[in-house]
Structure 1
Amino acid sequence: MEDLVRLVYASEATFSGNSAAQGIELEVGRILSESRRNNARAQVGGVLYYGNGYFFQCLEGERDAVVQTYQRICTDPRHKNAKILLKGFTKRRLFQDWSMKYLPAEKNLRDFLAQHGLSEFSPFGYDREMVGRLLIFFQQTKESGELAEHSTEHSPAATSTPTKPGWRRLFNR
């Protein structure tokens, strides 16, 4: 696919969410349901994380389909202040088999953030390198199956683990 792109954005939720201990927030569940249906038709995939009142989402697919999906997201009243954190062409998808995967990675994410000197999930302040590291974290979480028992969608087994270290494999460097 010549125009395969990856777009990562953050936005703020316009609703008050419940705690992770209570399960998936009702509005997030609705977003996931709609996303999976729409994204499967458009052949767009990716991952969604919701925490601390923020959405962090990676969309992957054909350029026009990803742009249309992002434009639809920007008009969704459940989001506000959408900001693109990363965009560009890519040679392969990180989340190939996911129309839209939701990872409830609360404990694991807190540990990951602490390793990077961060005390809370606040994606608007992340630079390109941190966004890349977060994507790798989500991909490795997916591949390891660590959160499979908490997941709302079954994920097929990973095909192969990329050999390039860290965030560089995200950008094919």
Structure 2
Amino acid sequence: MDDLVRLVYASEATFDAANQGVELEVGRILTESRRNNTRAQVGGVLYYGNGYFFQCLEGQRDAVVETYQRICLDPRHKNPKILLKGFTKRRLFQDWSMKYLPTEKKLRDFLAQHSLTEFSPFDYDREMVGRLLIYFQQADESGELAEHSKESPTAAPTTAATSAPKTGWRRLFNR
């Protein structure tokens, strides 16, 4: 797997969460991305907060690039900006076709530990992006985010890393 890559980007939502409901729009995005990502063997994590999307895509280089290009055309967000990209030896989010992590008090606590008052991914440097990725991975593996639910083993190809039960907020959002 010499061309396994990780790409992290942020973008601004174009929908009004108060009027349309975050759950409805994010649910639609997740349904589409899980279908497409499973087929392309791309995995990752999605976080929505404070009007921003923060997403990590992992997989083979061509599949990740194609997925990101398709995402950039989605009218539900604007101003996509790549925060981190590069080759990797293993996936952080191996078994997730696309995991959704909802806003949690623990994330606000995590941000406060780094002297941040709100979720604002366009302002993060590479180090903070990396810390946030590790936070999402570790919070899920430790069960800090919510109840446990196991994702389908076909969601992403197996690489290095061990398989652990995944936590969830609602069954629809957590895969």
TM above 0.5, one fold? yes
Higher helix share: 1
Partner of residue 90 from structure 1, selected from 57, 80, 88: 88
Q: TM-score, structure 1 length as denominator?
A: 0.84
Q: Counterpart of 2:67 in structure 1: which amino acid?
A: T
In structure 2, what is the equivalent of residue 7 of structure 1?
A: 7
Structure 1 CA distance for aligned equivalents of residues 101 and 134 of structure 2? 13
Q: Distance in 1 between matches of 2:139 and 2:22?
A: 18
Quote the residue 2:31 is aligned against. 33
Q: Give the counterpart letter for 2:162 in structure 1.
A: T
SS of 2:15's equivalent in the other structure is coil
Structure 1 residue matching 2:144: 3-state secondary structure: coil
Q: After TM superposition, list the pairs within 5 Å mapping 1:111-130 onto structure 2.
A: 111-130=109-128
SS of alignment partner, residue 25 of structure 1:
helix
Aligned CA distance change for structure 1 residues 155 and 108 (closer, same or farther; 3 Å): farther
Q: Secondary structure at the match of 2:105?
A: helix
Distance 1:56 1:112 in 2: 16
Q: Which residue is equivalent to 1:147?
A: 145
- The separation in 2 between residues aligned to 1:105 and 1:140, in whole angstroms, is 16
User: How far apart, in 2, do the equivalents of 1:43 and 1:4 lie?
Assistant: 11
- 2:104 corresponds, among 90, 103, 106, to 106
Write out aligned runs for 1:10-25 (5 A): 10-18=10-18, 25=23
Structure 2: 5+ residue stretches without partners? 153-160, 165-175
Q: Which amino acid aligns with 1:9?
A: Y
TM-score by length of 2: 0.83
Paired amino acid for 1:148: A
Residue by residue over 1:14-66, the C-alpha shift from the partner in whole angstroms, topping out at 9 and shown as x without a partner, is 001149xxx85211110001000100000000000000000000000000000
2:104–2:145 contact (8 Å) kept in structure 1: no
Matched residue count: 155
**Mind listing any 5+ residue stretches in structure 1 that lack a counterpart?**
162-173
SS of the residue aligned with 2:17?
Answer: coil
Q: Secondary structure at the match of 1:60?
A: strand
Supply the distance in 1 between the matched residues of 2:151 and 2:111 (Cα, whole angstroms): 24
Describe the SS at the equivalent of 2:6: strand
Conserved? CA contact 2:83–2:126, under 8 Å: yes
Where has structure 1 moved over 6 Å in runs of 4 or more?
none
Query: Does 2:47 match 1:57?
Result: no
Match of 2:46 among 32, 45, 48: 48
Identity over aligned pairs, percent: 83
Cα distance in 1 for residues equivalent to 2:49 and 2:13: 9
Partner SS, residue 6 of structure 1? strand
| Displacement of 1:120 | 0.2
Secondary structure of the residue aligned to 1:71 is helix
